[in-house]
Amino acid sequence: MPKVAFLTLGCKVNQYETEIMEGLFKQYGYQTADFTECADVYVINTCSVTHLGERKSRQAIRRAVRSNPAAVIAVTGCYAQISAEQIAAIPDVDVIIGTRERQKIVQLVEEARRSSHRINAVQDIMQADTFEDIPLFDTPGKTRAFLKIQDGCTNFCTYCIIPYARGPLRSRPLASIIREAEKLAEAGFQEIVLTGIHLGAYGRDLDGQLTLAEAVKAVLRVDGLARLRLGSLESVEVPAEIIDIMQQDPRLCPHLHLPLQAGDNRILKAMNRHYSTEEYRRLVAGLQERVPDLAVSTDIIVGFPGETDEMFNNALAFIDNMNFSRMHIFPYSRRTGTPAAEYPLQVPEEVKKKRGRQMQDLARKKKAEFTQPFIGRTMEVLFETQVNGVIDGLTRNYLRVYAANHNTVQPGMIRNVQLEKPYQDGLWGNIS
């Protein structure tokens, strides 16, 4: 039985797409192996959001070649889509696929195994007009399942390469979403996370016949589902109907990831973000007032071209007054082909690093402030992993909780936990 090994870089959508490809290989009789093992085929699902992602992608390709020089090396994902020529220049890469036509990956790998010819199957992603609906043939043994329902983005933020790597908006048919959700629930998953590149735009390409709220309501009708969580949403696209559902149905988790990206209006405008800091603040305050315990996490980019010390300090002050549960900090990464790459006043790397450290310090402070009021409460935790007698998992509002496990709880179970004190990246609790 041939072996295939996978390595995934980047976002939750990439992770989901790797799981889809794993299932396709298993359908053809392949056995999965760890990426560090000797395998017959290596699949690297790449990321191109930052230079670091691209560098890690190249390093993974070379690591696979060292593990087995005779193996077929297949490279897919965003970096493969926008930089196929760069990947083709790396020796021993056999198959290059972008962000579409991945349902053919096994056939292309088999063809490469039979011949010595490199196969470049990258297509013009801007011509994609339908969602690539590949069934989930295998359900990985995890407690949370990701379900991709949308692809593509047309926001064209000036710093972002993703619209060029993912193409126009494409939404998954509702019947297909329901089938996959039923399959995941039957496999024992307690929580499903709906993901997409521009999740809030779900249904727009279907002549407005469907919305994200319709998809949420359809999945919540699936028997046996304990939790439903939403992936990242654009802040100006939080539908009122979604909040209504969150208020009425406790299975829709009170957690929203709303990327802010910058805390200064001049930078937001330069980024082509379609809101001001004032609008963002009012939105988040209104949401947290309507939904008890709502956690709002966010993304912040530091060192965007033209960001002065004054602008950065404005961002620090703005964010310090926000009630964020988590913050993901990224130094601006110059992406060739995006407008911001040609902007003047590029910020030096050492300044980006300094600002990144300052913002990380603030992120830790905000997380501690958000977490503190939950100490002393009892909350439901979906447990995920267990190491050396300590089991951990997530509350519905995405607090990481750790507890001593006396062989009574297994990953995948939901239990009440009394939250006692800060611990590592979350809280320590006592299982009821």
Helical packing angle, 240-248 and 277-290, nearest 10°: 20
Q: What's the CATH number for 375-431?
A: 2.40.50.140
- Count CA atoms within 13 Å of residue 152 on its CB side: 21
Q: Which residues contact 70 (CB under 8 A, 6 or more apart)?
A: none
Residue 192 sits at the vertex; the CA angle it makes with 5 and 250, to the nearest 5 degrees, is 160
- The pLDDT score that the predictor gives to residue 206 is 86
- Is the pTM of the predicted complex or chain greater than 0.85? yes
- The pLDDT score that the predictor gives to residue 170 is 95
> Domain 144-372: which CATH class?
alpha beta
- The pLDDT score that the predictor gives to residue 141 is 66
- The pLDDT score that the predictor gives to residue 182 is 96
Q: Please indicate whether the domains covering 144-372 and 375-431 agree at the CATH topology level.
A: no
**Annotated domain spans of the chain:** 3-123, 144-372, 375-431
* Phi (first) and psi of residue 405, to 5 degrees: -115, 120
Q: What's the CATH number for 3-123?
A: 3.40.50.12160
Other beta carbons within 10 Å of 317: 12
pLDDT, mean of each 10-residue run, the chain (432 residues):
94 91 93 93 93 91 92 95 92 93 94 88 92 81 88 95 95 96 93 96 87 97 96 88 96 97 98 96 96 97 98 98 97 95 96 98 97 98 94 97 90 96 96 90
